[in-house]
Structure 1
Amino acid sequence: MPNDIPEPQAVDSPITRSVIFIVATLSAGQDHASAVRAWCADIGALVRSVGKRVPSGNLSCVCGFGSDAWDTLFGAPRPAQLHPFREFGPSERRAVATPGDILLHIRADRMDLCFELATQLTGRLGDAVSVVDEVQGFRYFDLRSMVGFVDGTENPTGREVPEFTMIGDEDPEFAAGSYVLVQKYLHDMTGWNALTVEAQEHIIGRTKLSDIELDEGVKPSWSHSSLTTLVENGEEVKILRDNMPFGRPGAGEFGTYFIGYARSPAPLEQMLENMFVGRPPGNYDRLLDFSRAVTGGLFFVPSATLLEALAERDPQAAGVNVSASEPPDDASASASASASASAEPHQEGSLNIGSLKGNRQYE
């Protein structure tokens, strides 16, 4: 890779057997913000140090930052399309926004590697952050989701991966960065397992055993497959999923942690709108009759090159009032969530993301 092209973070790491997802909020105060900035320079070295102990373990870590946290920690410039998570859907079927300033996506083929790296990373942060969600996921047989179907079949591969996941000329200061959206879903497995296999296949849009997509004449328009397939100018728009099952059978908890990477938030949010609102409105994803989203966050993943450089970023030098950017109180957070929920939806039939050829200009 030429020296003038930033090195991306490990967004396209191979699917592994184990994962830890950590979402944390930033503690108030400039000392805490300074600690997090300094920590940015340590992440790569910690991944290398822990991973070296088991070279075959495929250890990797992706770190992302939420919109408010970016302003507090780094100031201007900021990623062009970074904004708070946008909620979608009616109250009984809602893609909810939950607190989150920092995301860690830690992957390996051994949970001990994930555990050790998570311990080292969070230990360095100390009281500069508060962990608000932590999920340990696992590979389920042949890449099955918790509901028994193969997950991630239509992920981009090869040269498609950077084309759909890495920022290019449309935001050059943040080239080789990505946007990532996460949600934690809990499933009603009793209700789901009461369905026939045929009914489940119609909801997913694929055969359960062979993972073959149903014919268009058979697959309902409200199937998960139909509503998460996006087409712009005759070309399919893809995201990179690395979803993982998790659960506690003794507590009756069965879940899927959704994580999707993309070059812009637009396709990620269009998929959520299609699922939770419907395409057209009311024609929603019937998988949501058995799956409930309990968290939601949108983060920006800087390139590995920029992540290390952010340790030296001084937001005050850029004219940012750090104290004004500290996490809002509950009333402000509620107002912000309401504003996000009432944001203009995408226009039906257009993702507003421009051409899929070359360097797409996301709007």
Structure 2
Amino acid sequence: MAREQFGVCAEPNLHGTYLLFNAMDDKNAFLRQALSRLPAMIDHYAEHFSEANLTSVVAIGANYWDELYPEGRPKELTSFPMMQSDDRIAPATSGDIYIEVRSDRADTNHIVSTKICELLADSVDLIEQTRAFRYLDGRDLTGFVDGTENPQGHHRRDVALVKEEDDAEFAGGSYLHIQRYRHNMNLWNMLKEKAQEDVFGRTKVDNIEYESDDKAPTAHTKRTALKDDDGNSIEILRQSMPYGDMKTQGLFFVSYCHSSEPFTIMLKSMIQGDGQGHFDHMLKYTEAQTGVAFFAPSLNFLASLAEG
């Protein structure tokens, strides 16, 4: 039975480091070997820094997958669904390899990220590194709790992981979408608290969701809490974290799912709206600057890369 990468469904940590690489030409054989060794290396540091609750995820980009592993492809792995409507845009950007490092110690993340870059060496070009952190009691920098609708307990696995009956070769893996959002905090902070709550569709301090009839059709919770044709909730598992300094602040959005479709449906609801002009008004105060689709394969699959 395929074993998932533990970072996919792990509970939140205090610190996160997100590393995004492009593969260099003619380095695929080296990269297969290096990626196969990463989980064991992470396990070593997780044991060494046992109090840090270290987890990680290694993922391969949709546009790079066939080059690295031409023997097969996850059934629903497609490029990032770039979208635009008026001045709202979800761009598609580059990224061949994604590695997520999370723990409760920033120094542990730094050590492990350094070792990852040393292992991958000159086979990759590090194109982005984002250091993120837990803010207050799991809130975004807007002051609202992030991931309120996240699945809990064992249901996290049901939502995030590909099942054997759906795609046996890639069972235990997860479809991953990332977006780095940059917030306009000056504009956001000009809103009174009630106006901010109306944008989200829930209260700020107590994190109580508005009744459905009290939500504006443009509320963030209205545009992302969706149901399918059978009335079932459309779910993703978010592992997002805030990032920022005194000049730039935002959210590094991370979405895991057993299918690539739920993320696309939610993004379309936010940007294109409901067909009646009702888009997610949170997009007036934040914009996505990146967008990449990946697949985070099982530990079994990563180990098998060394055999190629």
Pairwise TM-score range, normalised by the shorter structure: over 0.9
State the 1:90 CA deviation: 2.4
Counterpart among 56, 72, 90 of residue 85 in structure 2: 90
- Partners of 1:22 and 1:134 in 2: CA distance: 5
- Partners of 1:27 and 1:159 in 2: CA distance: 39
Counterpart among 247, 252, 265 of residue 244 in structure 2: 247
CA contact (8 A) 1:148 1:208 kept: yes
- Amino acid corresponding to residue 213 of structure 2 in structure 1: G
- Amino acid corresponding to residue 245 of structure 2 in structure 1: R
- Amino acid corresponding to residue 229 of structure 1 in structure 2: A
* 1:259 matches 2:254: yes
**What CA deviation, in whole Å up to 9, does each residue of 1:201-229 have, x standing for no partner?**
01111100000101112111111101111
Structure 2 match to 1:114: 109
Displaced runs of 4 or more, over 3 A: none
Secondary structure of the residue aligned to 1:237 is coil
Counterpart among 4, 9, 12 of residue 12 in structure 1: 9
User: Aligned runs of 1:101-180 on 2, under 5 Å?
Assistant: 101-168=96-163, 169-180=165-176
User: Aligned runs of 1:342-353 on 2, under 5 Å?
Assistant: none
Structure 1 match to 2:232: 235
State the 1:62 CA deviation: 0.3
- Partners of 1:55 and 1:166 in 2: CA distance: 26
State the 1:281 CA deviation: 5.4
State the 1:159 CA deviation: 2.4
Superposition RMSD on alpha carbons, in Å? 1.0
- Partners of 1:256 and 1:140 in 2: CA distance: 11
Secondary structure of the residue aligned to 2:63 is helix
Counterpart among 1, 18, 28 of residue 21 in structure 1: 18
Secondary structure of the residue aligned to 1:153 is coil
Structure 2 match to 1:194: 190
Secondary structure of the residue aligned to 1:273 is helix
- Partners of 1:157 and 1:311 in 2: CA distance: 34
**What CA deviation, in whole Å up to 9, does each residue of 1:17-73 have, x standing for no partner?**
0000011111111xx111110012211111122122221211011011112211111
**What CA deviation, in whole Å up to 9, does each residue of 1:103-155 have, x standing for no partner?**
11110000111111111111111111111111000000100101110011111
Secondary structure of the residue aligned to 2:25 is coil
- Partners of 2:63 and 2:142 in 1: CA distance: 35
Between stretches 44-53 and 268-277, larger displacement belongs to 44-53
- Partners of 2:144 and 2:189 in 1: CA distance: 12
Secondary structure of the residue aligned to 1:94 is strand
CA contact (8 A) 1:66 1:83 kept: no
**What CA deviation, in whole Å up to 9, does each residue of 1:228-261 have, x standing for no partner?**
1121211112111111111111xx2111100010
Return 5+ residue gaps in structure 1 as ranges. Answer: 314-363
Structure 2 match to 1:352: none
**Residues paired across the two proteins, number:** 305
Return 5+ residue gaps in structure 2 as ranges. Answer: none
CA contact (8 A) 1:94 1:293 kept: yes
Structure 1 match to 2:274: 279
Identity, in percent, stands at: 33
Counterpart among 183, 194, 200 of residue 204 in structure 1: 200
- Partners of 1:281 and 1:65 in 2: CA distance: 37
Secondary structure of the residue aligned to 2:40 is helix
Structure 2 match to 1:268: 263
- Partners of 1:282 and 1:92 in 2: CA distance: 13
- Partners of 1:308 and 1:116 in 2: CA distance: 23
CA contact (8 A) 1:61 1:105 kept: yes
TM-score, scaled relative to structure 2: 0.97
